[in-house]
C-alpha cells in the first residue's frame, strides 16, 4: 500500500468523523430549540419532605444493590434517553435516578393539569411525548413527578384519600403503604386499595423489623432531617 493510500484513508476517516459531528450537533440544536420552546410551570402538591426523601432513598439504595449487569442496563437506558428520547418513550424504559417510566408520567400529565399541579403555557398536544423521558433526568422535575404520582395514588385509595399528607408523614406504616403504590403494587391494584398495609417489598426496602415494628430506614431519615433543621 502506497503513502497515497494511507493519505486517502486518513481523509476519508476525517470526513466521516466531521460528518458525524455535524449530525450530532444538528440533532442537539434541534432538541435544544424544541425544549426551549416549552413554557410550563410546576406546582407540586405539599408533601412532607420525610416522605419524598424516604421514597427516593429507598429507590436509589435498591438499585445500587442490584447486580452489575442490571445496573449496566439501567445506565445504558439513561444514555439512550439523551440520544433518542422518543425510542425510550416508545419502549417505556425506566430512566433517571428514581427509575421513572415515561408512560407513568404521561398518564399523569392531564390529571396534573386539571388539578393545577402543572400549568402548560405551550399547547399541550404540540409537545412531543418523547421529552417526558428526557425530563425524568432532571432532579427538580423528578421531585415534582414523584410528588404528583404520590398525590394521585392517595386520591385513588378509598381511605387514604381522606388522610392528610401531614398525618401520612407522621406515620411510617402509611409512608411504606404509599411506597408500595409507587412501586406499582405488584400489579395488584385492587388489593392495594383494599387496606392500609404496606407490601412485603416495601417493608423490606424500608428495613422493617418484625420484632421492633420499626421501619429503620424511615426512622434514620427522620433523624437526619431533624439534625439538619436544628
**Cβ–Cβ under 8 Å, residues 228 and 49:** no
**pLDDT tens readout for residues 168-196:** 999 999 999 999 999 988 889 999 999 99
Which single residue is written with the C-alpha cell 426512622? Answer: 219
**pLDDT tens readout for residues 15-26:** 666 776 666 665
The x, y and z cell numbers of residue 222, run together, are 427522620
Percent of the chain with pLDDT over 90: 39
* Angle between helices 49-64 and 68-83 in degrees, nearest 10: 110
- Three-state helix/strand/coil letters over the chain: CCHHHHHHHHHHHHHHHHHHHHHHHHHHHHHHHHHHCCCEEECCCCCCHHHHHHHHHHHHHHHHCCCHHHHHHHHHHHHHHHHCHHHHHHHCCCECCCCECHHHHHHHHHHHHHCCCEEECCCHHHCCCHHHHHHCCCHHHHHHHHHHHHHHHHHHCCCHHHCCHHHHHCCHHHHHHHHHHHCCHHHCHHHHHCCCCCCHHHHHHCCEECCCCEEHHHHHHHHHHHHHHC
Percent of the chain with pLDDT over 70: 79
Can you tell me the distance from the alpha carbon of 225 to that of 211, in angstroms, rounded to the nearest whole number? Answer: 25
Can you tell me the distance from the alpha carbon of 2 to that of 228, in angstroms, rounded to the nearest whole number? Answer: 70
136 vs 162, higher pLDDT? 162
Can you tell me the distance from the alpha carbon of 159 to that of 96, in angstroms, rounded to the nearest whole number? Answer: 31
Is the pLDDT assigned to residue 97 strictly greater than 90? no
**Cβ–Cβ under 8 Å, residues 152 and 107:** no
Can you tell me the distance from the alpha carbon of 4 to that of 106, in angstroms, rounded to the nearest whole number? Answer: 56
**pLDDT tens readout for residues 34-60:** 566 666 788 999 999 999 999 999 998
pLDDT for the residue 133: 75
Identity of the highest mean pLDDT range in 7-21, 100-114, 205-219: 205-219
Average pLDDT, the chain: 83
Amino acid at each position: 500500500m502506497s503513502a497515497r493510500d494511507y493519505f486517502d484513508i486518513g481523509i476519508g476517516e476525517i470526513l466521516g468523523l466531521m460528518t458525524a459531528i455535524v449530525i450530532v450537533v444538528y440533532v442537539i440544536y434541534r432538541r435544544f430549540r424544541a425544549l426551549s420552546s416549552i413554557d410550563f410551570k410546576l406546582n407540586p402538591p405539599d408533601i412532607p419532605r420525610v416522605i419524598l426523601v424516604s421514597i427516593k432513598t429507598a429507590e436509589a439504595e435498591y438499585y445500587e444493590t442490584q447486580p452489575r449487569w442490571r445496573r449496566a442496563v439501567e445506565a445504558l437506558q439513561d444514555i439512550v434517553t439523551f440520544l433518542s428520547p422518543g425510542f425510550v418513550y416508545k419502549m417505556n424504559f425506566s430512566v433517571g435516578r428514581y427509575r421513572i417510566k415515561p408512560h407513568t408520567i404521561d398518564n399523569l400529565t392531564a390529571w396534573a393539569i386539571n388539578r393545577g399541579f402543572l400549568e402548560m403555557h405551550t399547547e399541550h398536544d404540540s409537545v412531543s411525548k418523547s421529552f417526558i423521558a428526557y425530563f425524568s433526568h432532571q432532579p427538580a422535575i423528578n421531585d415534582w413527578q414523584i410528588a404528583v404520582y404520590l398525590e394521585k395514588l392517595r386520591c385513588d385509595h378509598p381511605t387514604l384519600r381522606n388522610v392528610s399528607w401531614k398525618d401520612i408523614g407522621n406515620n411510617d406504616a402509611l409512608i411504606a403503604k404509599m411506597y408500595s403504590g409507587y412501586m406499582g403494587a405488584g400489579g395488584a391494584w385492587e388489593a392495594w386499595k383494599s387496606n392500609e398495609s404496606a407490601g412485603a417489598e416495601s417493608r423490606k426496602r424500608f428495613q422493617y423489623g418484625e420484632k421492633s415494628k420499626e421501619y429503620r430506614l424511615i426512622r434514620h431519615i427522620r433523624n437526619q432531617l431533624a439534625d439538619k433543621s436544628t
